[in-house]
Chain A
Amino acid sequence: MSRRARTDARAIGLALCVWLAGLLLASPPAGSTPDEYQVKAAFLLNFARLVEWPQKAMAADRPIVVSVLGSQEVRDSIAAGIGDAVIGEHPVEVQRIDSASEIGGSHILFVTRERAQEPAEIFRTARRHAALVVGESEGFAESGGTINFFTEDRKLRFEINPDAAKASGLKISSRLLRLAVLVGEER
């Protein structure tokens, strides 16, 4: 096409850039809402306080290990949210894992929505290691997860599958159960 059309294209492009720069400068400062995963980390701390692990899985003065099956970003965010919290006499450690085979030694396993496609093997391994499996995907608790986050009016809520907790040998306090939406396992 002609030179003219090209000049026009650049002019339109430039005008739009200026308009957008204006929009950007006029936009309110971002970052007013907290990071989703830092809030979820705070929930995880509360879960850890209100769940009782079997004796063999929780040695005295050993740390509580939170494993994140997901990206490094989510791990970092959760680690930032947990900070250097201590539960009872247990410090809390956050690590990232890449597959179900690395679950051993974890007390809480957080499965991000990107990694929730193939949960069957995760649930099996987690039950063997008495890990509390927490997800954030629709149907996660029904298909065998113990706790699952969902949002309602932009606020975080969670559901609990008591059968899954029992199968893992975990005791969940009545206070936690009261705040949760209880779901059953669908077979």
Chain B
Amino acid sequence: MQKTTYGAAEILRLLNGLLAVITGITAIALTLGIYCGHTGGQMYTVPLVQSRLRLLLIPAGLWLCCSFAALVAAGAPKKAVLAPKPAYSGTPALRRCAWAAAGAAVLWMLVYLCTVGNFESRDLEMTVGKMVLWLSPAAAILLTAAYLLQKQSSPKPADLPARTAAVIRLVLMILAVILLAAGVRNGGMRDVLVKAINICTECIGLG
């Protein structure tokens, strides 16, 4: 009997995952449909958005029902203890290559970002698009290097001595207070207020 419940719960869990993906893909497809089907004039209109939301209700409703059923069927959660992962056992030569690649990737990024000419255009779509295209390979190299250079987990942390940490904390705290006072004085706080009480339509993605 217990085995049957467990089986049903597992199936519901898988089905629920599938429905989550379907709902997400439907939402993206419907949004892209509005964008691609736009032939001039206002892109998003209330009736159009409402009609798309109605279509989304079908997978979203199914997902909601399935989630509820899966929650009921799940019972007590299993505390999965994750298996310890062995450290990457790359050769020293490979590790050296990874370090070199990471250094090159950082340099690549710095050179791109420090070239003021790359950020002269006020066509932000083009500038940021180009930047993402140029920096993505460098970021991918960095992440690959981070993968290769991982160390074994060490549950016992090598923390700073408590006294050293306390001194650093105190110094930084004093610095924070000085910065705050300087910020209030130079109008930085007013800037925060001005930005926060107005809405820059592009900043929240409205356009």
Report if A and B associate in a common complex. Answer: no
Q: Which residues of chain A have a CB within 8 Å of any CB of chain B? A: none
